[in-house]
């Protein structure tokens, strides 16, 4: 559960429940494409990574926040504590878990990789964001053979950093409005000079690694407007010679380091390309297919942000739980009139219990959603010819990213509330968790963008097929199961009906917009609430599945497992009763929408 020195409280028991009891990943370990992995090895990896994350990796969490990186003469210097965490990670060889076997990696299921990432990113999110393996892996998937030899292999051998470079100061989330230019130098060789300014680039510059590989979206001269005209370029901080050795500094410079509310140890940079020196970029894969190539990074980054939010809510809850079991204050509510009654631990007070179960049920719910999505990604790897797995993964990503980030931020305020005034001090980590987690609703597309993605790309474009398949599984559960969960199944069925009716209202607005374009506003006003309802129905279903497994396991369980399984049932019941009824209110609000908000004058706000 964490060492005395560490802020970080993990929930390995719940991670292992998801992997080995709920989704039974061990049933396909040992088979292609995960032939090298088995349950014993996976559990050993999790035990080791838990110890490592709590001890070495979490060690610089507070120091990096209090003594953040600094920009001096165009170079960014990291605090030593952050470098120590990163060096410990690479020295232990953990990066091999995230590489494919052909790059000396381990053929591990994605679900196990996400579990490892949950433990690491919860321990020290700023540090984890510096690890550049993802960029090398994506470049390995889409780069030319020469780019793989020149950039990918040395990047992995020498632990280079990596970044995704999309955002521009005037374009923000509207990536297609980007103006960074790519001027051809040798088109046949795919060599260009890049000119422009990018903003909010995570890990954009630092001195932890000897080189950084930037994957940059830019528009070649004469290319089409919008996202279709963007190409992706690999831009090394230091040019790489043909033999893999480092050459001179490339013309990409950090011209600003953002001062931020949270994740202060993460360097969020303005990068300027081609200011004093030419900035050499190499066309990725030798093809102009930038946005599609970049989406390989974006989708994994969105999953990582949902994982970060889940991990942080979990440790926030466990910190507040530990406090509630130790802090003695006030008499039991049944003895309030007796001034001589003994004082009790605050976990005995109804309002504190309510707050704890609110956190517990949602922390476990977000984790259930995360590992269900990871399980689906495993199936996609096992059965690549079956398109349904890819569609389900696509459908779930905005829920993992959008809902998890919103709920984690909201409920970390509840974690802090349990600690009272002490929570507001820097003596406890929760105030830093809140600051570090707010970014998750903004990273990789705001919640509003995730909600529009869910409706237009994942439901409307798919004609509801994936949603219908998922709803069918929920209906199967509603039809029957253990008597102890009858009320909860009924609540789940009602929430599913309300969510489908809410979706019907939205589709009506979409159809109506063909006659009256302003109808689309009504849809936009209720897209976020639809995302919430879809997420909560999915989580409610998953938690009830978990509760059924727990009920079946209880008769044989030892005392420690008995408490764990009773907690799983309690989480499912609380979530069903607390969260699922909200779908009805959201549906009713969508049905009553008259669009008046969009006709109100700007001055009236």
Place of tokens 């908000």: 597
Q: What is the largest CA-CA distance in the chain?
A: 87
Interhelix angle 290-326/350-382, nearest 10 degrees: 150
Question: β-pairing, 181-186 with 212-220?
Answer: parallel
The answer to whether 329 and 346 are in contact (CB under 8 A) is: yes
**Which of 433, 371, 528 minimizes the C-alpha distance to 126?**
433
Q: State how far the Cα of 192 lies from the Cα of 220, in Å rounded to an integer.
A: 9
The answer to whether 438 and 423 are in contact (CB under 8 A) is: no
Of these residues, 195, 444, 488, 532, which one is catalytic? 444
Q: State how far the Cα of 9 lies from the Cα of 122, in Å rounded to an integer.
A: 9
The answer to whether 194 and 182 are in contact (CB under 8 A) is: yes
**Which of 532, 470, 430 minimizes the C-alpha distance to 7?**
430
The answer to whether 362 and 411 are in contact (CB under 8 A) is: yes
Q: State how far the Cα of 169 lies from the Cα of 553, in Å rounded to an integer.
A: 54
**Which of 468, 534, 549, 456 minimizes the C-alpha distance to 502?**
534
Q: Is 326 a catalytic residue?
A: no
Q: State how far the Cα of 45 lies from the Cα of 42, in Å rounded to an integer.
A: 5
Three-class SS of residue 9? coil
The answer to whether 103 and 140 are in contact (CB under 8 A) is: yes
Write out the H or E segment, with its range, that includes residue 321.
helix 290-326
Q: How remote is the C-alpha of 32 from its chain's centroid?
A: 27
The answer to whether 367 and 310 are in contact (CB under 8 A) is: yes
- Residue 235, token pair as written in the block: 């831009």
Give the active site residues.
444
């Amino acid at each position: 559960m964490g060492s005395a020195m560490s802020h970080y409280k993990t929930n390995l028991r719940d991670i292992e429940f998801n992997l080995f009891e709920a989704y039974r990943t061990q049933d396909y370990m040992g088979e292609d494409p995960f032939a090298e992995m088995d349950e014993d090895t996976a559990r050993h990896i999790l035990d080791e990574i838990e110890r490592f994350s709590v001890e070495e990796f979490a060690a610089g969490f507070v120091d990096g926040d209090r003594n953040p990186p600094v920009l001096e003469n165009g170079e960014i210097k990291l605090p030593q504590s952050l470098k120590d965490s990163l060096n410990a990670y690479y020295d232990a060889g953990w990066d091999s878990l995230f590489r494919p076997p052909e790059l000396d990696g381990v053929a591990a299921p994605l679900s196990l990789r996400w579990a490892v990432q949950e433990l690491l990113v919860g321990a020290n999110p700023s540090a984890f964001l510096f690890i550049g393996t993802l960029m090398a892996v994506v470049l390995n998937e889409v780069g030319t053979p020469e780019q793989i030899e020149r950039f990918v292999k040395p990047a992995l051998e020498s632990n280079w950093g990596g970044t995704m470079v999309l955002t521009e100061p005037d374009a923000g989330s509207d990536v297609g409005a980007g103006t960074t230019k790519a001027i051809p130098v040798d088109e046949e060789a795919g060599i260009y000079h890049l000119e422009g300014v990018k903003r909010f680039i995570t890990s954009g510059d630092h001195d932890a690694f000897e080189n950084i590989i930037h994957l940059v979206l830019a528009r070649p001269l004469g290319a089409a407007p919008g996202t279709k005209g963007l190409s992706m370029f690999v831009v090394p901080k230091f040019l790489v010679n043909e033999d893999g050795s480092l050459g001179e500094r490339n013309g990409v410079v950090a011209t600003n380091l953002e001062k931020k509310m949270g994740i202060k140890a993460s360097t969020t940079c303005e990068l300027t390309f081609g200011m004093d020196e030419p900035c050499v970029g190499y066309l990725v894969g030798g093809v102009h297919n930038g946005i599609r190539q970049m989406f390989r990074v974006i989708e994994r980054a969105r999953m990582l942000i949902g994982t970060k939010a889940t991990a942080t809510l979990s440790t926030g809850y466990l910190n507040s739980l530990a406090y509630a079991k130790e802090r003695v204050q006030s008499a039991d509510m049944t003895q309030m009139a007796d001034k001589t009654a003994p004082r009790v631990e605050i976990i005995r007070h109804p309002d504190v219990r309510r707050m704890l179960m609110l956190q517990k049920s949602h922390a476990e719910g977000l984790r259930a959603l995360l590992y269900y999505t990871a399980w689906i990604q495993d199936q996609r790897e096992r059965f690549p010819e079956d398109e349904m797995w890819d569609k389900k993964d696509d459908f779930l990503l905005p829920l993992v990213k959008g809902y998890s980030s919103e709920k984690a931020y909201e409920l970390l305020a509840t974690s802090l509330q349990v600690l009272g005034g002490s929570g507001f001090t820097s003596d406890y980590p929760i105030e830093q968790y809140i600051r570090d987690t707010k970014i998750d609703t903004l990273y990789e597309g705001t919640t509003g963008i995730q909600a529009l993605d869910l409706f237009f790309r994942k439901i409307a474009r798919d004609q509801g097929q994936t949603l219908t398949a998922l709803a069918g599984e929920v209906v199967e559960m509603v039809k029957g199961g253990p008597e102890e969960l009858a009320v909860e199944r009924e609540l789940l069925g009602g929430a599913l009906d309300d969510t489908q009716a809410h979706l019907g209202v939205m589709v009506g607005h979409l159809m109506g917009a063909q006659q009256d374009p302003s109808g689309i506003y009504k849809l936009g006003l209720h897209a976020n609430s639809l995302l919430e309802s879809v997420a909560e129905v999915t989580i409610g279903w998953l938690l009830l599945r978990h509760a059924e497994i727990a009920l079946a396991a209880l008769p044989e369980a030892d005392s420690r497992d008995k408490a764990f399984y009773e907690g799983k049932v309690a989480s499912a019941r609380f979530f069903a009763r607390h969260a699922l009824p909200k779908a009805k209110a959201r549906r009713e609000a969508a049905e009553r929408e008259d669009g008046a908000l969009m006709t109100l004058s700007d001055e009236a706000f």
